[in-house]
Amino acid sequence: MTTSQASLMAENTITPDHAELDVSGASLRVKGKHILAIVAHPDDIDFGGAGSVAKFIKLGAKVSYIILTDGTRGSEDMSISASQLRLMRQEEQRNAGKVVGLTDIYFMDNPDGALQNTPEVQKPVVKIIRQLKPDIVITTDPTYVYDVDTGFINHPDHRNAGQIALDCVFPFARNGRSFPELLEEGHEIHSVETVLINNIAKANFYVDISDYLDIKLEAIKQHVSQYDDFENIKKRMTARAAQLGERIGVKYAEGFVKISSQR
Ligand SMILES: [Zn+2]
C-alpha cells in the first residue's frame, strides 16, 4: 500500500451518498446520478463492474447499459445457431440486470467480433447519451491490449467499445455539429461529467464492494451460456476482488481509471 492510499483511508470514510474514493481524495457522488455503461458484449459489465453498479443503485443512482454487439460469437458450442445465441445472451443480460436493479438495457446488435468505431456505430450511441444525459459513463479500456504477466490478450471488441464510448462522450455527444441531424431531431448536446474505465492495472479509483460481491457473482451466474464451471469463475472473481480490496484496505473492491471533467 502506498502512503497516499494509507492516508486516504485514514482521512475519509464512505458516506451513504458517496461511493468509494479515488487516490486523489476526491469522492464521487452517485446519489441521484444517471450512470450509463457502454460495453461490447453481454456479461462484460458484470465481470468488470457489477459490484459497483449494484452499490451505485443502492446508493440512489439510476443505471442503464448499452450492449454494442449481438454476442453471437460467444460460444464454442457450434450446435447453437447465431440467432438462438443472440436471444439467449440478451436474456442472460436482462436477468443479470434484474439482479443488480438495472433501469434499462439497449442492445445495439452490431456483429460480435467485428465491432468497429464508425459513424454508423457511434450515432445511435450519441443519440442515447443525449437522450439519457448520463452524469457518469462506465466503459472498457481502449488502450488495454495484453498482459505479459498473465498471458492475457484483450478482445478487440473490448478495446473498440472503449474507444467508441470515449469518442461519443467527447466530442460527439457535446458537439452540435457532430451528427447535426440528431440536434434537428431535438436531441440536445450533453456533457458527461465522469468516465470510469475498467482497467484494474491502472486503476486510480476503487469501489468497496465488500457487501456487493455476492450480488456481482449472482449477476455473473446469469450468463449461463458463458461458463461450464461456475465455481471456478467464483473463485477467480473473488480472488481478484480481494486483490483489489487489499489496495484500499477493504475485503473486496473493483478498480477503475476515473476521468473527471470537473477536476
Ligand atoms: Zn466481452
**Ligand 1 centre and the CA of 44: distance in Å?**
5
Q: What pLDDT, on a 0 to 100 scale, did the predictor assign at position 248? A: 85
Beta bridge partners of 18: 29
- Model pLDDT, residue 27: 72
Q: How far is the CA of 46 from the centre of ligand 1 (A)?
A: 10
Q: How far is the CA of 105 from the centre of ligand 1 (A)?
A: 16
pLDDT of residue 79: 86
**What pLDDT is stored for residue 262 in this prediction?**
56
Cis peptide preceding 156, ω within 30 of 0? no
Contact between residue 86 and residue 71 where contact means Cβ atoms under 8 Å apart:
yes
Element (H, E) at 136: strand 136-140
**How many whole angstroms from 119 Cα to the centroid of ligand 1?**
22
Structure confidence by residue, pLDDT tens digits, 56-112? 999 899 999 999 999 999 888 888 899 999 999 999 999 999 999 998 999 999 999
Query: Helix, strand, coil shares of the chain as percentages rounded to 5?
Result: 40, 20, 35
| CA distance linking residue 240 with residue 253, whole number of Å | 8
Element (H, E) at 89: helix 82-100
pTM: predicted TM-score of the whole model, two decimal places: 0.90
Compute and round to an integer the Cα radius of gyration of the chain: 18
Domain locations along the chain: 3-260
Q: Find the 224 Cα to ligand 1 centroid distance in Å.
A: 14
- pLDDT tens series, the chain, 263 aa: 444 443 344 333 343 334 445 444 457 888 899 999 999 999 999 999 999 999 999 989 999 999 999 999 988 888 889 999 999 999 999 999 999 999 899 999 999 999 999 999 999 999 999 999 999 999 999 999 999 998 999 999 999 999 999 999 999 999 999 999 999 999 999 999 999 999 988 998 899 999 999 999 999 999 999 999 999 999 999 999 999 999 888 999 999 999 988 54
Assigned architecture for domain 3-260:
3-Layer(aba) Sandwich (3.40)
pLDDT of residue 26: 56
Distance between CA atoms of 174 and 189, rounded to whole angstroms? 5
Q: Are 73 and 115 in contact (CB under 8 A)?
A: no
Report yes or no: 28 and 194 within 8 Å, Cβ to Cβ.
yes
Distance, in Å, from the CA atom of 157 to the CA atom of 155, rounded to the nearest integer, reads 5
pLDDT the model gives residue 197? 97
Say how many Å lie between the CA of residue 194 and the centre of ligand 1: 23
